[in-house]
Amino acid sequence: FEEELEVVKQWLENRNFSAIGEIGLDLYWDKTYIDNQYEAFRRQIVWALKYDLPIAIHSRNATRECIEVLKEFPEKKVKGIFHCFGGSPQEAEDIINLGMYLGIGGVVTYKNSGLDKVLAGVGLSNLVLETDAPYLSPVPHRGKRNESSFLPLVAEKLASIYSTTADEIDRVTTLNATNIFGKLI
């Protein structure tokens, strides 16, 4: 992993980027290299702070662990997104208290995800829309290749959770994304 991190470091030193990520921890399949994952995650957070870049956090089966790593950097606010958020109400609160946003995609449309209940206690000002393409397509495309053209389905689901319109979801989540990444266009 050291070689890969060196490549990332060199690229950051010599090119312009809008963010660093996906970075983080994945405890879903294998924990053999968990120490390496922690080390890589911490180093990339340091680089994000150095270059003032937001991060996109991959936290599959490791949301709490990623939160705890971010708490190791209290002197500066790390900005970014918990990609494909699917955690608990407490994890959502902790992430928001760290100044991070929750990335919401197709999973929110799944009948048994429970994410609608979690998000009911979270302000819309803490969310961004995302796809995770080609994975995790929203209903009715679940199981098929995901694409950005399906984002209106996610916005419609969020509109029903927040008792607002899909246009308002689009407006607020676009503003949130701009707060994270700046104006990219």
Check residue 183 and give its pLDDT: 79
**pLDDT of residue 185 exceeding 70:** no
Greatest alpha-carbon span in the chain: 49
**pLDDT of residue 181 exceeding 90:** yes
Angle of helix 63-70 relative to helix 89-97, nearest 10 degrees, comes to 20
**pLDDT of residue 117 exceeding 80:** yes
Q: How do residues 125-141 score in pLDDT, each as one tens digit?
A: 999 999 999 999 999 99
Check residue 75 and give its pLDDT: 76
Question: Domains in the chain, please, with CATH?
Answer: 1-55 (no CATH), 79-185 (3.20.20.140)
Q: How do residues 17-50 score in pLDDT, each as one tens digit?
A: 999 999 999 999 989 999 999 999 999 999 999 9
Identify the sign of the CA torsion 33, 39, 41, 47: negative
The predicted model gives 146-175 an average pLDDT of 98
Pairing of strands 20-24, 55-58: parallel
Q: How do residues 47-92 score in pLDDT, each as one tens digit?
A: 999 999 999 999 999 999 999 999 999 877 899 999 999 999 999 9
Q: Find how far residue 30's CA is from the centre of its chain.
A: 21
Calpha distance 150→53 (Å, rounded):
28
Higher-pLDDT residue of 30 and 104 is 104
Calpha distance 161→148 (Å, rounded):
21
Calpha distance 127→23 (Å, rounded):
19
- Percentage of the chain exceeding pLDDT 70: 99
**pLDDT of residue 152 exceeding 60:** yes
DSSP letter assigned to residue 29: S
Check residue 184 and give its pLDDT: 67
